[in-house]
Structure 1
């Protein structure tokens, strides 16, 4: 008797609509697509359109024929400009994201002729996991995997936020920011109030944001089928162990995801490893400029897709870079450049002023293919906002960091970089030219040997984790096997 063909797993991805969340989830979606899964990536309309502009669609369709890109209507105040919202506006934004995703997911799951329900949903831990769990209860409890785009340390600290409110530690207004926080066990490093989540720095909306994060994040995770983390075991082993004992399901550490994908593409001669997933338009001219710079000489500067700088901050950082006398490549987004303007200067005028200061030493661009830049031999250091994607990419490329975090998980990440892993410096809450100059020179020369002594083994472990037989490679295979096992027999 002829055996029926095995059913193909179908996975729906539901990312939160921010660049730093979309990118790693898209990488995992690609990997599952290469494992012959049918993948649906559900994005807001605006981000869907921007993503289509960044992809070589014909090549992408050839390599990932079972990868479907779908969208739902935007329902978020001011699009992605969260940094321009008031505290209450930020709360409304989070709730709007949740409200917009639910009907779109319901429509996708609605039974129709000839269409099977998905095998599972992989939903962003922030807001989206809760939405997915709410919706799937109406359709037979489809398994939901929670995806945490931040590090394990941030997640573990998040589970303690309500306790910090009860103890009066947060909100952080008018408090000694250097006072140690002792009520979060198992971190492997000392943590100060200034190292807590950026949400703790909010004033009136602090408790509301943390309750949203807890009710729609931490508590939702506990109802999920499993948890996927973009990290690797040997980077955060003690905290991953804490999470494993705390949560009632499997944890899959699969990072650095871009390293896993690059290895797959190289092994299979797949040209997609050169395609960058971004909702920001990239300027690739910087690669030619980097080609002309000496090895290890350039300090790369980027503060991510959402951070907002004032005019004085831009000029202080710029003057510090110039005073260091080292070539720099600086990403400054064209819109918006400045969030808290201190005079009537337009963003264009500020850019012109900065470019006039640095015509020979620096290059200023609007956005870059960051993985490619960090891997370039001319880049010797990274002045970063400490987003988790940037942190992992920097580790994988063996590029030490100066951390200037601006919110959310970045405060935690920068503390890990400086105090736990000792692969860079933490410049949080400081922005003056003398500090920038000193830390750039320390990173690039004066203290480089000690920093690289810590960086080299960590980077080597990151590379080993994504190679065949490595922890992240094996965890990805375990995830693939476990999703296949969810198909009804």
Structure 2
């Protein structure tokens, strides 16, 4: 359906995290930052189960009650109430998201935001690959937020290379065997350093399939938010405002570990200081500058 927003209407962002603790925490922080922009309406889409737990065990209501333009909305994850939703049952969660959450998400976007102004931008976890298809069908720009590190994301991008090279699935229990098919990480990456789903013996494993699907979807999105700061990744070839290309990430990893590996490992105090400085408004920190770019991009989006 067509979504028409009056020119004077403020933008309305719908944030959709993967229903796991880490991604939810990252996206709640992003939601707060967008609310501080003042003129952006934010809807945080959470599953019924996780939202109930957040209300029970955190001060969620009081934390966000100061932002009148913010609201929570919930959606089913497709699992029964008594399901443990543990990481070792991730396949069940992914299946529920695809079979139940997917059509409900489409219905939500088609409704034009319910009792609020129409959604003008979706920010979704990169693992929610169906979200891009739905957003494109409805005509709403989508930005992916990868809450894992850029180094971890690059490993995801190389899963197909690992399979083609026969490095996964692997046999035996030697987790110190070197991995050679992740460009930029040759020589130091070991089996034990790969994401846990790489230890499966079944290439049809839903998590492996998700990783490959995710990397095909990312270049199609309106933009990509990375969980990093520019003083860490900027000097080694990655520019957060640009499209995330494989060659860029490869250069980042290679330069980091070959040229600056020792410095990186021995300078965590310095990096922690840089991370704090990156959010210092008075110093013009890189995270603040990139957040401002994101806000301006959201404001410019038309549906």
Instruction: Specify the TM-score bucket, using the shorter chain as the normaliser.
Output: 0.7 to 0.9
- Which structure has more relative contact order (CA 8 Å, sep 6+)? It is 2
Q: Is the 1:101–1:131 Cα contact (8 Å) retained in structure 2?
A: no
Give the equivalent residue in structure 2 for 1:170.
168
CA drift at 1:51 = 1.8
Give the equivalent residue in structure 1 for 2:34.
32
- Whole-angstrom CA distance in 1 between matches of 2:293 and 2:106: 28
Rg (Cα) greater in structure: 1
Give the equivalent residue in structure 1 for 2:85.
80
- Whole-angstrom CA distance in 2 between matches of 1:242 and 1:52: 33
**Distance change >3 Å, CA 102–CA 94, structure 1 → 2:** same
- Whole-angstrom CA distance in 1 between matches of 2:263 and 2:202: 32
| Residue number among 135, 144, 161 corresponding to 1:146 in the alignment | 144
For structure 2, the residue ranges without an aligned partner over 5 or more in a row are 1-5, 250-260
Give the equivalent residue in structure 1 for 2:120.
119
Q: Verify: 1:219 aligned to 2:216, yes or no.
A: yes
Map residues 125-204 of structure 1 onto 2, 5 A cutoff: 125-126=126-127, 128=128, 130-140=129-139, 142-174=140-172, 176-187=174-185, 190-204=188-202
- Whole-angstrom CA distance in 2 between matches of 1:134 and 1:457: 41
Give the equivalent residue in structure 2 for 1:234.
231
- Whole-angstrom CA distance in 2 between matches of 1:176 and 1:82: 24
Q: 1:149-191: per-residue Cα shift (whole Å, max 9, x none)?
A: 1000011111111110111101133164323222222349721
Give the equivalent residue in structure 2 for 1:455.
268
Normalising by structure 2, what TM-score?
Answer: 0.81
- Whole-angstrom CA distance in 1 between matches of 2:232 and 2:204: 30
- Whole-angstrom CA distance in 2 between matches of 1:242 and 1:39: 22
Give the equivalent residue in structure 2 for 1:52.
55
**Distance change >3 Å, CA 35–CA 242, structure 1 → 2:** closer
Normalising by structure 1, what TM-score?
Answer: 0.52
**Distance change >3 Å, CA 39–CA 189, structure 1 → 2:** farther
Secondary structure of 1:231's counterpart equals coil
For structure 1, the residue ranges without an aligned partner over 5 or more in a row are 252-417, 423-450
- Whole-angstrom CA distance in 2 between matches of 1:93 and 1:69: 21
Give the equivalent residue in structure 2 for 1:8.
10
Map residues 343-422 of structure 1 onto 2, 5 A cutoff: 421-422=264-265
Q: Is the 2:142–2:223 Cα contact (8 Å) retained in structure 1?
A: yes
- Whole-angstrom CA distance in 2 between matches of 1:163 and 1:175: 21
